[in-house]
Amino acid sequence: MMNCCGLLNPEKQPVPLKSIEVQLEVKDHVATVVSTLIYENKEDKPIEAVFVFPLPGDAAVCHFSAKIGQTEIVAQVKEKQEAREEYDDALSSGQQAFLLEESEQSPDIFSLKVGSLPPGESASIRLEYVIELAVEADDGLRFCLPAVLNPRYQPQGSEGASVQVTSVPASQVPYTLSFSARVSSPRPISKVESSCSLDPLQYLNTEQTQATVKLAAGHKFDRDVELLIYYKDAHQPTAVVEAGQASAKPGTLMGDPVVMLSLYPEFPQAVMSSLASCGEFVFLLDRSGSMDCPTDNSEQQETRIGSARDTLLLLLKSLPMGCYFNIYSFGSTYKHIFPKSVEYSEKTMEEALKKVGEMTADLGGTEILQPLKHIYSQPCIPNQPRQLFVFTDGEVWNTKEITSLVKNNSAFHRCFSFGIGEGASSALINGLAKEGGGHAQFITGTERMQPKVMQSLRFALQPAVQDISVTWDLPKGVSVTVLSPPISAIFQGQRSLVYAQLTGQSSEAAEGCVTVKYNLAGHPSQNQLTFNLKPAEDTGLTVHRLGGRSLIRCLEMEEKEDGGKPDEGVKKRVVELSVQSGVSSAYTAFIAVNKDNSEPIQGPLMRRNVPTPMFYSMMQCAMPMAGPGLPGMAMACAMPGPQMRLKSCAMPSPLMLNLCSAVTTADAIMSCDMSCDEPAEFGKFLEKVEDPDLTMPKQPRRDPLLELVSLQKASGCWLLDPALAAVLGKKSKKVEKAKPSAVNQEVWATILALMWLHGFKVDAKEEWELLAMKAVSWLRAQKAPCVTECIEAGNTLLGCKVQKDALGL
């Protein structure tokens, strides 16, 4: 047996990556991230280390360097094939070389190669990127450091060779992560929260506009590192003008000032008070095997598919009467509940809910492209704007193909996307919403999916903003070149970012003005922002790089020639911009070669794959066993590929066959990681399997809120029956006896349900607010007598103090 020392990967080979240190600097709503990766070769031969890892899909990678001993080599951005050839030439001549490149299929996957690291040598790799921070439903700014890269599904026969990912369960990652953040803003910092354990927030000044925070020691790589940063008065429009690079030629992107506008359009209250009562709502649900995993690694955590089912219940109950809807689900194939979208009624709602309740994560892989094509092939319903809701854990390779399809159909619908669980592709989730004129949400850790989805439904019910235009009023001699794609969607209170290059000269006191005009529910509206053209102090080139990244992404999304090959003119322009701005793209790579190394490195070069943390560890993707079995028996998902494969199982084959016959694929990526080498241990295992007294644990009682929601009718009312009484915690006879005599049963039941929501579930109001509005509309239509008497009787029955005004009656 080979005697290995140091860190080992899944193939029992040494792992040269020792640690990752991440420093985050947040200025207002833009972040700069510096990652330092420490490599060490403890073997007796030179090695090449290959590390495939995730980054945020909209990050602008702007610096890559390597330090060997006292020698620092700063990488250059070059056309990708040229960079690859230079890297190969360097290795073949015995030189040290470093290559960083973005995946051509998905912009949130990067590959880092550390070549010709001699025995006993160490290398420090510095990687820097800048990124905009997304605004969450509760006004928090979200930063996510992707730590988890699950194997991504690639459809059979799809074009482009995907990068092979070496993954291990999060608990087995052989390197450490340290993370610290510094936050500064013109406005006070209210708080910083995280899905991971943090050390206490430390304020650096009395105004509380600067603070630092660190990740607590012992991060297990079992989740992405997510920060939520809260400022006071976060919804203020802002403008940052950044000076150009002194060494760059005026008239170029890097030589001119660039402005970043952060706009928060405000809609008239009269429009916001009347949400749409029409639309075609199409829900597309991921049923691939990985949806059977929990969103978090805590015990008894609800699975992704279970949370999605509960969310669909809320959505269906909250839809307005008179709209149309359909539900699709997908894995390796796709299904739909109705052949085409149907009108929303009690009958169609109940039929859909029955089928939703039967949905499991049993459809194999993650083929999202085909169901999208089918949805787009269906003719739109006149006067029913199409709203598409996509729920997925986002583990696919063909991201650009999918987002390109959404963009090509953006004139006919709005797309709202939801990334579920650790490792969801930010490039896919953000790309779907951005190209579809909708809104993206991420559900990680112990977060509930329902509040975020209901916020998106409220956005979908807002009137579609049409005829959006951005006009500039600048001093004479100053012209503007917009770097961002045209604004395609505006939602109340949500941020729109615009980047623009400013060419020409003006006096220091000069001001510019930008006006966003649009048509809202038939009424012309506009919002203005006036800003100073004098560049801000000490901003570096962050805004330039984000603006360059925005323009590069726009060009990459342009139409491609027949056959799927990129347009050569567009590709040339992207390469020019990428090289000029020093920002990564699909067609370029960072290359660094240590030419100071006078002595060629001798000996055969050994390749070492650095494993990436994977969320699907043992006992997380719980699969039900046939027969009595072991409760919560699971198989670890560790092998990429389109087919299910089983690996390295030491059990006798008959038992293995019985166990594996019960296992469904997780995105068609499975391996059995159970090692029962010791006879005694295997005997104990058999005893457990054959123990007739071993039964599955009882299912926890369903959330009373969801129970109440499930009882609501499509019209908005509730029936007075034992099921409703049980949710209210009362006996049926007592509920019926408390009813005022002049009121019918449905009115009484509906008022009680509303009072229970307001009295006992006010903390979850964002989840039930829309269906409560529907109930109130139904009550008003009944013109029911004695509403005040009903509320008094209801307060006595339920033991609460709900006021009539609170119900909206």
Q: What is the pLDDT of residues 786-795, one digit of tens each?
A: 889 999 999 9
Q: What is the pLDDT of residues 385-400, one digit of tens each?
A: 899 999 998 777 788 8
Are 238 and 28 spatial neighbours (Cβ–Cβ below 8 Å)? yes
600: DSSP letter: P
* Res. 680: pLDDT tops 50: no
Task: Compute the half-sphere exposure of residue 53: CA atoms within 13 Å on the CB side of its CA.
Answer: 23
And the tokens for 783? 């013109």
Q: What is the pLDDT of residues 106-153, one digit of tens each?
A: 888 899 999 888 899 999 999 999 999 988 777 888 898 888 776 666
Burial class of residue 723 in the structure, from the number of CB atoms within 10 Å of its CB (0-12 exposed, 13-18 middle, 19+ buried): middle
The pLDDT value given to residue 658: 34
- In 298-423 the beta strands, taken as DSSP E runs, fall at 324-330, 334-336, 342-343, 386-392, 413-420
- Closest C-alpha to 50, from 77, 78, 21, 17: 17
The pLDDT value given to residue 635: 31
Are 465 and 447 spatial neighbours (Cβ–Cβ below 8 Å)? no
Candidate from 18-32, 362-376, 468-482, 585-599 with smallest mean pLDDT: 585-599
And the tokens for 569? 């003119």
- Cα separation of 262 and 268, whole Å? 20
Centroid of chain to Cα 713: 33
Binned at pLDDT 50, 70 and 90, residue 669 comes out as: very low
The pLDDT value given to residue 377: 95
Domains in the chain, start-ordered, CATH in brackets?
Answer: 17-155+164-235+582-603 (2.60.40), 258-274+464-534 (2.60.40.1230), 276-461 (3.40.50.410), 621-693 (no CATH), 706-807 (no CATH)
The pLDDT value given to residue 164: 65
Higher pLDDT, residue 29 or 8: 29
The pLDDT value given to residue 186: 84
DSSP strand pairing (413-420 vs 440-443): parallel
- Cα separation of 261 and 135, whole Å? 15
Q: What is the pLDDT of residues 764-804, one digit of tens each?
A: 998 999 999 999 999 999 987 888 999 999 999 999 999 88
The answer for residues whose C-beta is within 8 angstroms of residue 306's C-beta and 6 or more apart is none
Across the range 491-520, mean pLDDT stands at: 84
Q: Helix, strand, or coil here: 385?
A: coil
- Cα separation of 147 and 245, whole Å? 33
Q: What is the pLDDT of residues 289-309, one digit of tens each?
A: 889 887 665 555 688 999 899
**Through-space distance between the first and last CA atoms of the chain, rounded to whole angstroms:** 78
Candidate from 63-67, 198-202, 312-316, 536-540 with smallest mean pLDDT: 536-540
Q: What is the pLDDT of residues 177-211, one digit of tens each?
A: 899 999 998 889 999 998 888 999 999 999 999 99
Are 478 and 502 spatial neighbours (Cβ–Cβ below 8 Å)? yes
Question: Percent of the chain beyond pLDDT 90?
Answer: 43
Q: What is the pLDDT of residues 571-581, one digit of tens each?
A: 999 999 999 99
The pLDDT value given to residue 609: 81
Across the range 579-594, mean pLDDT stands at: 93
Chain position carrying tokens 């060490």: 40
Centroid of chain to Cα 302: 18
Are 695 and 670 spatial neighbours (Cβ–Cβ below 8 Å)? no
Are 289 and 295 spatial neighbours (Cβ–Cβ below 8 Å)? no
Are 336 and 282 spatial neighbours (Cβ–Cβ below 8 Å)? no
Across the range 82-108, mean pLDDT stands at: 91
Binned at pLDDT 50, 70 and 90, residue 103 comes out as: confident
- Cα separation of 572 and 580, whole Å? 12
The pLDDT value given to residue 113: 93
* Res. 158: pLDDT tops 60: no
The pLDDT value given to residue 265: 75
Higher pLDDT, residue 148 or 724: 724
The pLDDT value given to residue 337: 96
- Cα separation of 196 and 232, whole Å? 23
The pLDDT value given to residue 455: 86
Are 531 and 239 spatial neighbours (Cβ–Cβ below 8 Å)? yes
445: DSSP letter: T
The pLDDT value given to residue 644: 32
Across the range 510-518, mean pLDDT stands at: 89
Across the range 555-561, mean pLDDT stands at: 68
